[in-house]
Amino acid sequence: MNSIERFSFNLLGKRMKAKREEYSQLRNDIISARMKTPFEVYLSTAVVCSVAVGLFAALVIGAFSWFLKLPALIKYKGAVPGFLVALTPYSLVIGTIFITIFSLIVFGGITYAIFLFYPSVEAGNRRRNIDATLPYAINYVTSMSTAGITPAEVFRLLGDSPIYGESHVEARYIAREIDIFGRDLIDALRLVSSSTPSKRMKEFLQGAMASISSGGNLTEYFRTKADQYALENRQTQKLFLDTLALISESYVTAMVAGTLFLIILQSIMSVLSGDNNPLFLYAVIYIMIPLGSAAFVIMISSLTPES
């Protein structure tokens, strides 16, 4: 633990232990993401950092509002209740207090939400990496098993091979359960399969458990799963290429031809009407095109499988 985590845990650790059931999904996400920070430490750090960020933002924005007298710039011309009229001389103080409290709630809440959401994002990244590297990891496992190496040693060797990405991390946890905690292979497989974020890895480990328990041919099982996942990978890549072609056509239609048509149309209309300030044209050029392009980039990035 670093100094911030240690301070947060010493301050709130006991209270956070009572929230394990309330934040069960967060605890599962932390385990699936293989984060080394315990749940109580992570949640304590989230609370302390959220309060610190909220206070800092509130002080900065409150001071900014006070010195620039931003609340005094608000003018309301309609009818107002009498007690509000009486508070008019104190509008700067009241407005600054309101802005400060609002900034504290907003920025503190955003920081806390980021802390709660981050483990699920990390678990999702691990899931995509495991799904992408699992066929190659199973090919390696199949080769080792064909050579007569015991199943426990097979997973231990896979855990020592970082070229297989997050798949080797799951194998390393299996080896840890066996070597450090003294569990047998089936218990180790069951524990890791229950916490892995990848459904394909879960299915593979559960199938290995069933094969070992029933005395089946584990090497043949590895070979079958390797062929299955290789075929699924090819189908996934073909589907991704088809989707990418559809997205590229949509981008050309919407962001190239569509915006070009709007720019030409608005330019002609501005000339004919004598409008010297075409706001719609500015919106297309400076808002629609950048945000639309960024949306397509984010979409493609989220759909792209791990390499």
Taking only the tens place, the pLDDT of each residue in 41-76 is 999 999 999 999 999 999 998 888 878 776 655 555
- Decide: helix, strand or coil at residue 56: helix
For the segment 148-162, the average pLDDT, to the nearest whole number, is 90
pLDDT band at 22 (very low <50, low <70, confident <90, very high): confident
Residue % of the chain over a pLDDT of 70: 91
For the segment 185-203, the average pLDDT, to the nearest whole number, is 92
213-245 confidence digits (pLDDT tens): 888 888 889 889 888 888 888 888 888 888 889
Identify the CA nearest to 54 among candidates 21, 100, 90, 12.
100
* Chain position carrying tokens 């009407």: 273
Instruction: Return the minimum-mean-pLDDT range out of 7-21, 170-184, 196-210.
Output: 7-21
137 burial level (CB within 10 Å; 0-12, 13-18, 19+):
buried
CA dist 128 and 215 (Å) reads 32
CA atoms within 13 A on the CB side of 267: 7
Q: Which residue has the higher pLDDT, 166 or 279?
A: 166
268-282 confidence digits (pLDDT tens): 887 777 767 778 888
Q: What pLDDT does 281 receive?
A: 81
59 neighbors 125 (Cβ within 8 angstroms): no
For the segment 96-107, the average pLDDT, to the nearest whole number, is 88
Most confident of 62-71, 92-101, 196-205: 196-205
Q: Residue 200 above 70 pLDDT?
A: yes
Q: What is the mean pLDDT of the chain?
A: 85
Note the pTM of the prediction, 2 decimals: 0.74
Q: Residue 83 above 90 pLDDT?
A: no
CA atoms within 13 A on the CB side of 263: 14
| C-alpha pair distances (Å), 137 with each of 3, 116, 218 | 38, 31, 15
Q: Residue 21 above 90 pLDDT?
A: no
Q: What pLDDT does 191 receive?
A: 92
Which residue ranges make up each domain of the chain?
3-127, 128-229, 232-303
Burial 142-174 (b: 16+ CB within 10 A, else e): bebbeeeeebbebbbbbbeeeebbbbbbbbbbb
**Which residues lie below 8 Å from residue 252, measured CB to CB, with a gap of 6+?**
none
pLDDT band at 30 (very low <50, low <70, confident <90, very high): very high
For the segment 97-119, the average pLDDT, to the nearest whole number, is 91
Q: What pLDDT does 98 receive?
A: 83
Q: Residue 15 above 70 pLDDT?
A: yes
